[in-house]
Amino acid sequence: MVILHTFTKIRKYMLVQKFGGTSVGSAERIKEVARLIHTGQPKIVVLSAMSGTTNSLVEIAGYLYKKNHEGANEAILNLEEKYHTVIDELFESDAYKAKGRELIQSHFTYIKAFTQDMFTLFEEKAILAQGELLSTALMHYYLSEQHIDSVLVPALNFMRTDKDGEPDLFYIKENLQREIENNPGHHIYVTQGYISRNAFGEIDNLKRGGSDYSASLIGAAIQAEEIQIWTDIDGMHNNDPRVVDNTHPIATLSFDEAAELAYFGAKILHPASVQPAKIANIPVRLKNTMQPEAAGTLIGNKSEGKGIKAIAAKDDITAIKIKSGRMLLAHGFMRKVFEIFETYKTSIDMITTSEVAVSVTIDDTRYLNDIVEELKKYGTVEVDQNLSIVCVVGDFIAESKGYALKIFQALENISIRMISYGGSKHNVSLLVNTADKKEALVSLNQNLFEHV
Ligand code: ASP
Ligand code: MG
């Protein structure tokens, strides 16, 4: 009871700070993050793998699946080499350099062992976990070399998904609480993003980009004061900065607006990560490691400012149209159509209907052929690829008048394939050819943000 009480007291002002791959992408970046977290406020620091590492591990696993041991060995040695450089630059003393080398040796010996054996999904997950295990151990060592107290909390001791592959919040909460209570009185708890165990206790992960999700789950589990997601951009921008000039960070967003933007293309935040924070009502702050003084974006339960806030775009969209004059009016038709997508675990992003046809979009085309074959039972099916969803996000209740006009005026010269409006009060989605995306984003930017 006494211990629980202490925990309750700690968590009241505990922060979660997550640093992405580029933020810990070199020895120099790791040192910078160490400075940023050394503030005296109790916190859980969640780290991604150093940038490039997870991609290399995916590549290594790919070679091993194909039994290309030569390719695997070469990729493993290249990655190992990179870590040796990091060790040389990160640590000052010979003692820590030696500790670092030992760490690398143990992880790479583990990876190399898989080149001998059978290779399955389980081995792949175990290999992918090495990136976050390495980055967090390096941070922990660096902090201790700098005489900054920290505790390394293994995510594999508390992060877990259930039999449906969804995070097991109860388990996470109980076990994370225990990990912290077993190590009371520290200010910095360092743990791995992305990696988890599945319902069988095997090593698994929360899918690519999943460290944000880890941070949000951890924040919800400890009722953190705030969840901070540190990356290399100064917050969520009002348009895609890779495509459009003159974008600016948005100061505040509601959870719903942030979820729409993350889902429809804003790369800064993993879409699933909004939900746990929203349910626990914990603010999420997006910050820039390269410019720590910049305000960033604050995501919370209220949205300040009305009207249109931002535009995002998501590529690699496939549209499927099912035409069936005969069936469509009959009730139960939609259910049958959706059931096919459900069977193939393929989620639908946009949907529009008319008397004779229903069109949907998907981004996961792994089962496209099977889906199309089954849909043919109900009518003629057309498939269209190389499309992008352009999504305009904001708070459309208060001042919804006139916005549709501005949006369509901006897209005057662009052929719009589908429109979805009204599904939520935060989003208007438009489907365009990917070849037209840039023009659409630039023109929307001018009409919605520049000439107001
Ligand atoms: N390291 C993982 C990835 O690259 C997870 C993450 O960075 O969020 O996907
Ligand atoms: Mg990320």
Cβ contacts of residue 195 below 8 Å, gap of 6+? 128, 129, 132, 133, 155, 156, 159, 203, 204, 205, 206, 214
Q: Do residues 418 and 332 share a domain?
A: yes
Q: Do residues 215 and 325 share a domain?
A: no
State which residues form the domain around 437: 309-448
Cβ contacts of residue 369 below 8 Å, gap of 6+? none
pLDDT mean over 419-430: 85
Q: Do residues 59 and 177 share a domain?
A: yes
- Report pLDDT digits (tens) over 331-376: 788 888 999 999 999 999 999 988 788 999 999 999 999 999 999 9
132 CA: nearest ligand 1 atom: 1
Q: Do residues 133 and 18 share a domain?
A: yes
Q: Which of 159, 192, 194 to mutate to test the pocket of ligand 1 (most atoms within 8 A of CB)?
A: 194
248 falls within a domain? no
300 falls within a domain? no
* Exposed e or buried b per residue across 134-157, where buried means at least 16 C-beta atoms within 10 angstroms of its C-beta: bbbbbbbbbbebeeeebbbbebbe
Cβ(66) to ligand 1 under 6 A?
A: no
Query: How sure is the predictor about 399, in pLDDT bands with cuts at 50, 70 and 90?
Result: low
Q: Which of 23, 56, 196, 208 to mutate to test the pocket of ligand 1 (most atoms within 8 A of CB)?
A: 208
Q: Name residue 298's beta-bridge partners.
A: 252, 285
Q: Which of 19, 29, 211, 273 to mutate to test the pocket of ligand 1 (most atoms within 8 A of CB)?
A: 211
Cβ(193) to ligand 1 under 6 A?
A: yes
- Point out the domain boundary residue: 199, 232, 265: 232
Q: Is the pLDDT of residue 327 over 80?
A: no
313 falls within a domain? yes
Q: What is the pLDDT of residue 356?
A: 82
188 falls within a domain? yes
Closest ligand to C-alpha of residue 230 is 2
Closest ligand to C-alpha of residue 130 is 1
- Point out the domain boundary residue: 172, 197, 232: 232
Cβ(194) to ligand 1 under 6 A?
A: yes
> How many A from CA of 26 to the centre of ligand 1?
15
* Exposed e or buried b per residue across 245-269, where buried means at least 16 C-beta atoms within 10 angstroms of its C-beta: eebebbebbbbbbbbbbbbbbbebb
- Point out the domain boundary residue: 215, 232, 249: 232
What is the CB neighbour count within 10 angstroms for residue 350? 22
Cβ(19) to ligand 1 under 6 A?
A: no
Cβ(25) to ligand 1 under 6 A?
A: no
Q: Do residues 55 and 184 share a domain?
A: yes
63 falls within a domain? yes
Residue with tokens 């589990």: 221
175 falls within a domain? yes
Q: Do residues 16 and 134 share a domain?
A: yes
Q: Do residues 100 and 189 share a domain?
A: yes
> How many A from CA of 208 to the centre of ligand 2?
8
- Terminal Cα distance for the chain, rounded: 58
Cβ contacts of residue 400 below 8 Å, gap of 6+? none
CA Rg value for the chain: 24
395 falls within a domain? yes
Task: HSE, CB side, 13 Å, CA atoms: give it for residue 200.
Answer: 4
Q: What is the pLDDT of residue 2?
A: 40
Copy the structure tokens of residue 235.
């917050």
The kind and range of the H/E element at 389 are strand 380-395
Cβ(207) to ligand 1 under 6 A?
A: no
Range in 270-279, 402-411, 435-444 with the lowest mean pLDDT: 402-411
- Report pLDDT digits (tens) over 98-144: 999 999 999 999 999 987 767 888 899 999 999 999 999 999 999 99
Domain count for the chain, please give it.
2
Cβ(276) to ligand 1 under 6 A?
A: no
CATH number for the domain that contains residue 97 = 3.40.1160.10
Range in 53-57, 111-115, 289-293, 397-401 with the lowest mean pLDDT: 397-401
CA of residue 307 relative to chain centroid, distance: 26
Share of the chain above pLDDT 70, in %: 94
Q: What residue owns the CA closest to ligand 1's atom 4?
A: 54
Q: Do residues 316 and 218 share a domain?
A: no
Highest mean pLDDT out of 147-161, 348-362, 386-400 = 147-161
Cβ(48) to ligand 1 under 6 A?
A: yes
214 CA: nearest ligand 1 atom: 8
Q: Do residues 87 and 187 share a domain?
A: yes
Q: Tell which wins on pLDDT, 357 or 17.
A: 17
- The CA-atom distances, in angstroms, between 299 and each of 65, 258, 264, 272, 285 are 41, 7, 17, 14, 6
Q: Do residues 329 and 438 share a domain?
A: yes
- Report pLDDT digits (tens) over 260-290: 999 987 788 999 999 999 999 999 999 999 9
Q: Give the whole-angstrom CA distance, residue 289 versus residue 270.
A: 18
Closest ligand to C-alpha of residue 269 is 2
Q: What is the pLDDT of residue 23?
A: 97
CATH number for the domain that contains residue 407 = 3.30.2130.10
Q: Where are the beta strands (DSSP E) in 125-278?
A: 151-153, 188-192, 195-197, 203-205, 226-231, 252-254
Q: Do residues 223 and 342 share a domain?
A: no
Q: Do residues 82 and 209 share a domain?
A: yes
251 falls within a domain? no
Residue with tokens 């293309």: 265
- Report pLDDT digits (tens) over 186-207: 999 999 999 999 999 999 999 9
Which of 21, 412, 444 is closest to 240 using CA atoms?
Answer: 444
pLDDT mean over 57-66: 95
